[in-house]
A and B are shown apart, each in its own frame.
Chain A
Amino acid sequence: MSWHHEIEQIVLPDAFWGEIVSHCKRKLAGDFLPGESEVKRAYGILAGVQEGKELRVKLVLPVKKNARNQGPLKTYMDNMMTEHAVASTTPLSQRGWITDPEELMDCFQQCDKQNLQIFGTYHMHIVPWEGDPIRDTPTVLDTVLAKDSNLFSFIISMVDMENPSMRAFYEGALEKPTPLIINS
């Protein structure tokens, strides 16, 4: 059974919003951590608790490794890119991201220890498109990759790096936006 119908809003405390923006800016600046995939894209996991009809973010887990070109995951991503990615000057092999299983397992274990539930992923868009200058919504590819994930997709617009913004969509579906409140 899908649970998102129960959720009326998602609350993201300022401090966690700051962590997410810092993650994005660091990756865009090419400042990579040891063991981190050296790609200028930021993606991560959000976990927290459900309080009535509200989801409250309690943990931001930036994902370090992009397993995009590892074994069977590469085949899967190549197929998805070929079928659903819009044309771009960036080669398909350098587009898209997918979590490394070991790192994801670590994320699950961290959340379990803190009794938190993983309920979403985030990633940023940086290039404005014709007719879509802000880019704070999921692409067709985002929607396809989030299908049946049972997770919210949080899309960060970093088109204007000084004024980033973020929106949430259940399973990356444009028709399923969920109000996101950023507060202290």
Chain B
Amino acid sequence: MATIIIPFPFRKHTDSQREVTVSGNTLSESLEDLLKQHSGLQVIHDQPGLLSIFINGKAVAATPDEWKNIAITDSDEISLIIPIAGG
């Protein structure tokens, strides 16, 4: 089971949990499992292009089509990053 680190802005959708354990052999499956567990996180799809994904600290391809080709192992730590913006 891999771990997904939830960015602070989204913890309101995970009962303040910092991390969520997910099943899945690919990044796509892991994110699907995350959304099954915490449906409020559908917001990550609200702003296409804003979500960045890091696996074990390294940035990975950003397009959802590529997520299904990215293998995930139990020891992987997936971080979701949404940028912070201001005027």
Contact = CB atoms under 8 A, between A and B. Distances in A.
A97 B16 CA distance: 27
B35 interface: no
Nearest to A104: B81
Contact of A1 (B16, B79, B81): B16
B47 A76 contact: yes
Main secondary structure of the interface of A (DSSP, over half): mixed
Interface string B49-87: 110101001010010000000000000000101011111
Interface residues of B, number: 26
A73 B87 contact: no
Interface in A1-23: 1-3
A153 B85 contact: no
B8 A99 contact: no
B16 A3 contact: yes
B36 interface: no
B85 A72 contact: no
A43 B86 CA distance: 8
Contacts of B10: 150
A80 interface: yes
A76 B49 CA distance: 8
Contact of B85 (A45, A77, A102): A77
Contacts of A43: 86
A104 B83 contact: yes
Which 8 A-B pairs give the minimum distances between C-beta atoms? A72-B49, A101-B52, A141-B87, A98-B85, A150-B9, A145-B85, A142-B87, A99-B83
12 contacts: A67-B83, A72-B50, A75-B49, A97-B86, A100-B83, A104-B83, A105-B59, A108-B7, A118-B8, A145-B87, A150-B12, A151-B84
